[in-house]
């Protein structure tokens, strides 16, 4: 949960929510999406079913803007799935809004997922050769084709057959007339949690969604597991030929909301403890620890605990950040960062400051923040990062720049320190990070830091897969 939306940070990915057997399925899903808004701010959608017909509403924008009371009312039915995502704008944006809903030989089907299907291009090519047509660039459309083409008699088998052909990192929700299905890829890279709200089962990307609707957390869906919710019961299947848990460690560092607990680890707690480890590993003589809001706050507090240095909120966030701002022609130094953050000169002047942030992507924002803190009178500025250096792109659902645009991919530590104009720079070690998380590295994906990709990827491929020849405008 990070305030920045500029190009120098990871963009959020996606969030899903589903609920069965609830008289107000759409309204609960709306709230479940709202609580997960930090996972995707550019589009939102809900599909409901009453067991016979389906209703759908999708749109560009925040959950609270996309859905009006009349929309929720129209979304009748007792089961629903919903989705938030980041997205390109325009008609193509709307085309790619999830959940997707189609009709096929066995009735209606709606799907949405969080993550990325790595072999979608190959599958798509194969489907096209067989006469399939595609309207979007979404992996989900590929998956629905696979389900529709399956000759299996039972829906669960059709879905199982289809997902078993997929490689990548994805958590998937499927809704048909009488069932809801949740699937996590064989490595469980992306999160998916199961909860209970009275007689209803709920599925979500993060537990914070359960808190808002008042659902009780039951368990995390397992890597490679497929849960089928039908007639008030949950059935569990493992359709993949093999499974090997590799949970995305970056969910702890940056993505997830601090009040969520994923795979048994509280996110706030993990972040705080990473700060403690970082303080032990890379202390520095200084007067003041200042976090870069918001995800830098818990590690900065942990760093303060470990080092005994005073912790203060010296960078104040502006809470009213809009999409666009008009800059004077006679431009303002560090304009983009100053719109979002202001350094409290009164506090900083004459001090040796330690800044704690969650990551460095391209490095441009870090440099501006260091400059802003220096301009507010800091004598020294030391940067501490609560994750290892980000050297590689993610191919499993996180929107990262190409590797060559990542500062840590192109520079060593000294070069980076110099480039961001800090007096010192340190990242937490892999060991420190996993000590803080309290789990072994072997059960996580940390490819963005280590380059160890649990799912084979074509090295020539860009992480931004752009398949479609259609470029469209907002309707």
In the complex, least distance from residue 52 CB atom to its own copies, rounded to whole angstroms: 7
Residue 97 a catalytic site member: no
Candidates 75, 234, 292, 436; binder of its own copies (CB under 8 A) is 75
Q: Which of 9, 10, 15, 28 binds its own copies (CB under 8 A)?
A: 28
Q: How many CA atoms lie within 13 A of 354 on its CB side?
A: 31
- The per-residue DSSP string of 168-227 comes to EEEEEEEE-SS-EEEEE-TT--S--EEEEETTEEEEESSTHHHHHHTPEEEEEPPTT-EE
Out of 6, 91, 281, 380, name the contact with its own copies by CB under 8 A: 91
Restricted to residues 308-367, the positions that interact with its own copies (CB under 8 A) are 311-313, 316, 318-330, 332-333, 338-339, 342-347
How distant is the alpha carbon of residue 166 from its chain centre? 20
Pairing of strands 288-291, 43-49: unpaired
Of these, 166, 181, 208, 309, which contacts its own copies (CB under 8 A)? 208
CA 73, CA 70: separation in Å to the nearest integer?
5
DSSP for 423-466?
A: SEEEE--HHHHHHHHTS-GGGEE-HHHH---SS---TT--SS--
Distance CA 319, CA 315 (A): 12
Binding marks (x or -) toward its own copies, 256..275, rule CB under 8 A?
Answer: -xxx-x----x-xx--x---
* Binding residues among 165-194 for its own copies as defined by CB under 8 A: none
Looking up tokens 């497929």 gives: 226
Specify the 3-state DSSP secondary structure of 214: coil
Provide the minimum distance between the beta carbon of 238 and its own copies in the complex, in angstroms, as a whole number: 25
53 in contact with its own copies (CB under 8 A):
yes
* Residue number with CB closer to its own copies (91 or 415): 91
Q: Confirm or reject binding of residue 34 to its own copies (CB under 8 A).
A: yes
Binding mask 281-300 for its own copies (x = CB under 8 A): -------------x--xx--
Shorter beta-carbon distance to its own copies: residue 158 or 190 = 158
| Helix/strand/coil for 32 | helix
3-state secondary structure of 150: coil
Q: Helix or strand or coil: residue 80? A: strand
Closer CB to its own copies, 242 or 324, in the complex: 324
Which of 6, 41, 380, 419 touches its own copies by CB under 8 A? 41
Count of chain residues binding its own copies (CB under 8 A): 110
Of all helices (H) and strands (E), which one includes residue 6? none
Residue that is written with structure tokens 């706030």 in the block: 268
Kindly tell me which of 166 and 448 has the beta carbon lying closer to its own copies.
166
Closer to its own copies by Cβ: residue 32 or 169: 32
Angstrom distance (rounded) from CA 45 to CA 269: 31
Contacting its own copies (CB under 8 A), which of 21, 78, 86, 148? 148
At closest approach, how far in Å is the CB of 322 from its own copies?
A: 3
Asked if 129 touches its own copies (CB under 8 A), the answer is: yes
Q: How far is the CB of 340 from its own copies (least distance, A)?
A: 10
Among positions 6, 11, 21, 71, the unique one binding its own copies when judged by CB under 8 A = 71
* Among 88, 86, 96, CA closest to 62: 86
Q: Is 308 helix (H, G, I), strand (E, B) or coil?
A: coil
214 scored as a contact of its own copies (CB under 8 A): yes
Asked if residue 213 binds its own copies (CB under 8 A), the reply is yes
Asked if 473 is part of the footprint of its own copies (rule: CB under 8 A), the reply reads yes
Site for its own copies in 408-437 (CB under 8 A): none
Smallest distance from its own copies to CB 109, Å? 8
How far is Cα 166 from Cα 151, in angstroms, rounded to an integer? 17
- Among residues 14, 208, 394, 448, the one annotated as catalytic is 14
Residue 332 CB neighbours (<10 A): 10
Does 464 bind its own copies (CB under 8 A)? Our answer is no
Two structure tokens written together for 154:
């039972």
DSSP bridge partners of 261: 266
For the annotated catalytic residues, the residue numbers are 14
């Amino acid at each position: 949960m990070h305030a920045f939306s500029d190009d120098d940070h990871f963009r959020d990915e996606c969030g899903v929510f589903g609920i069965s057997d609830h008289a107000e399925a759409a309204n609960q899903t709306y709230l479940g999406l709202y609580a997960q808004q930090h996972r995707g701010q550019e589009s939102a959608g809900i599909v409901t079913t009453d067991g016979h017909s389906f209703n759908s509403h999708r749109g560009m924008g925040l959950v609270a803007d996309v859905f009006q009371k009349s929309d929720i009312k129209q979304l009748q039915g007792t089961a629903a799935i919903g989705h938030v995502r980041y997205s390109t704008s325009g008609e193509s944006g709307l085309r790619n809004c999830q959940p997707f809903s189609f009709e096929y030989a066995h009735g209606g089907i709606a799907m949405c997922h969080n993550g990325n299907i790595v072999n979608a291009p190959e599958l798509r090519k194969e489907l096209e050769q067989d006469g399939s047509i595609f309207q979007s660039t979404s992996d989900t459309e590929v998956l629905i084709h696979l389900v529709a083409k399956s000759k299996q008699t039972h829906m669960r088998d059709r879905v199982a057959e289809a997902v078993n052909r997929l490689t990548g990192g994805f958590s998937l929700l499927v809704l048909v007339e009488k069932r809801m299905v949740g699937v996590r890829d064989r490595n469980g890279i992306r999160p998916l949690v199961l909860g209970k709200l009275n007689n209803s089962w709920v599925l979500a990307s993060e537990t914070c969604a359960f808190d808002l609707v008042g659902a009780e957390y039951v368990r995390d869906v397992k890597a490679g597991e497929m849960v089928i919710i039908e007639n008030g019961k949950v059935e569990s299947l493992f359709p993949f030929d093999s499974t090997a848990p590799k949970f995305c460690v970056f969910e702890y560092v940056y993505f997830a909301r601090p009040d969520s607990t994923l795979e048994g680890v509280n996110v706030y707690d993990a972040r705080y403890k990473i700060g403690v480890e970082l303080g032990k590993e890379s202390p520095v003589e200084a007067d003041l620890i200042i976090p870069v809001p918001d995800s830098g706050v818990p590690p900065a507090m942990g760093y303060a605990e470990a080092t005994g240095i005073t912790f203060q909120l010296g960078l104040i966030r502006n809470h009213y950040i809009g999409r666009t701002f008009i800059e004077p022609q006679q431009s303002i130094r560090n304009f983009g960062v100053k719109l979002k953050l202001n350094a409290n000169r009164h506090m900083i002047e004459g001090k040796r400051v330690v800044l704690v942030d969650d990551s460095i992507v391209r490095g441009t924002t870090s440099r501006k923040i260091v400059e802003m803190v220096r301009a507010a009178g800091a004598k020294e500025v030391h940067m501490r990062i609560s994750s290892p250096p980000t050297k590689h792109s993610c191919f499993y659902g996180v929107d990262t720049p190409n590797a060559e645009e990542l500062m840590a991919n192109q520079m060593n530590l000294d070069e980076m320190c110099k480039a961001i104009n800090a007096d010192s720079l340190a990242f937490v070690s892999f060991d420190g990070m996993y000590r803080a998380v309290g789990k072994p590295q072997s059960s996580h994906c940390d490819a963005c830091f280590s380059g160890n990709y649990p799912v084979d990827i074509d090295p020539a491929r860009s992480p931004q897969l752009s398949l479609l020849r259609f470029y469209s405008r907002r309707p």
